[in-house]
Amino acid sequence: MLKLITVSVNEELCAQHNIETVPTLLFFKNGEKQTRYAEKTTDLDSMTSFVDKQLGRGPQEELEEVVPETKQIGVYTLTDDNFDAIKKTGFTFVKFFAPWCGHCKNMAQDWEKLEQHYTQHGVGELKIGEVDCTVTPSLCAQQSIPGYPTIVLFKDGDKHTEYAFYRDFDRMKLFLDETLGRSADVILEPDNLGVYTLNQNNWKRMHKAMGVNTVIVKFYDPLCKQSIEFKQTYEDLVVEFLMEESEDLAFTEVDCTAADSIDLCKQEDVQEYPAIHLYQYGDLEDIHSGFRTLDYLRNFVWETMDPERMEDPELFEDPMFADAMDVFAKAVDAAEKDLDDQDYEEGDDEDEEEEEEEDGEEEEDDEEEDGEVEEETKDEEVQTQVDGTTDIPIKIMPVKNDEEVKEELEKMVADITKKVEEESERAKTTNEDPAKQEQSQQKDEL
């Protein structure tokens, strides 16, 4: 048995064997010193040749091949002894981990599922292995493992790709299938309206799976207010093009908060929600940047499908003006309600006044009956005063007439119209080139 022993600090031992310079290599057999390594170079081949000569081995003899240790068919437990031999040919998908690592524990079930899948439906050139960095720290240091878990795909002994996606079964399987060029049957079914749900796992095969070349994708956040408000508009667009126009395109959606879509939304550089992208033959063709109304979205689709069917945006209803009109309508409703409340209060006051007048008449009648009346003409005059000329105090509430209400409403409309025009002008200014914007800003400052 051959043993390699390194002596670093032992002055007595070095003196005993007359060690004058370092490094010095000595060969011992059965406890007895045989010879001193006297070659000028200390490269691997020279030292190997020296050892083979001392052992009586021929230069062409090879060490016995290391048999890789396996947990199950196709899944390898990798160590310093078998790592190079196993990854030498084909593809090797390796997980570097530590048993105490929380992320490693979280992905353990998906990793085991991946192992089982390729054991049953494996590919000849693919091997799956794992390295416990607490058992073989030198191997992990040699591979510059920055943290746990780290997953690396090797090809023919060299590092091919470091896996940087979501660590679940579907995403890892997709990565391996795509890298190895395996074809996978992707079945997509739309909802009742005809909208497909996409994620990282079916993204690259969406055109083939849906049988179309043009795909509209809505990226959204289900909790986002704008996404919620846009839902009905997008459904109206789907109905118009799939049922009324019967165009050869597909409508899809991606929930950017779902675990299997987070990386996809980053990959497609989604900046806001909702975002509408148009893809042709798998490549991004256009991104919608206008108002999210049915008119503008219709033009967005026609611009790619059939530009002759686009309409003049000047004919579209200005969404900002429509919002202002909604505010105005609510203000008018509130004003009318106030008028109704005032009319109701006036009616109550008139009823009270009538009751007070009747009470006054009854009191006067009682006084006439109790008093002594001397002349009939005098009685008639008193009766006349009661019936026709008696002044009764009436409480009158201040009420705005129709002209005043009309003036207030006209002023309200004028204010809202002015704000709408300012917003429209500001929106047009943002679409101008930077030079015009700077000139306009300087003009405003002057």
User: Catalytic residues, which ones?
Assistant: 101, 104
What angle separates helix 319-370 from helix 376-384, to the nearest 10 degrees? Answer: 170
Find, among 91, 107, 95, 109, the residue nearest to 152 by Cα. Answer: 95
Is-contact 169 114, C-beta < 8 A? Answer: yes
Is-contact 255 290, C-beta < 8 A? Answer: no
Tokens of 425: 């002008």
Find, among 123, 68, 138, 135, the residue nearest to 93 by Cα. Answer: 123
What angle separates helix 402-430 from helix 434-445, to the nearest 10 degrees? Answer: 130
- Between strands 275-280 and 214-220, the pairing is antiparallel
Complete edge-to-edge strand list for the sheet that includes strand 70-72: 70-72, 75-77, 126-132, 91-97, 150-155, 158-162
The amino acid at 148: Y
Q: How many CA atoms lie within 13 A of 133 on its CB side?
A: 20
- How does 89-116 read in b/e, with b if 16+ C-beta sit within 10 Å? ebbbbbbbbbeebeebeebeebbeebbe
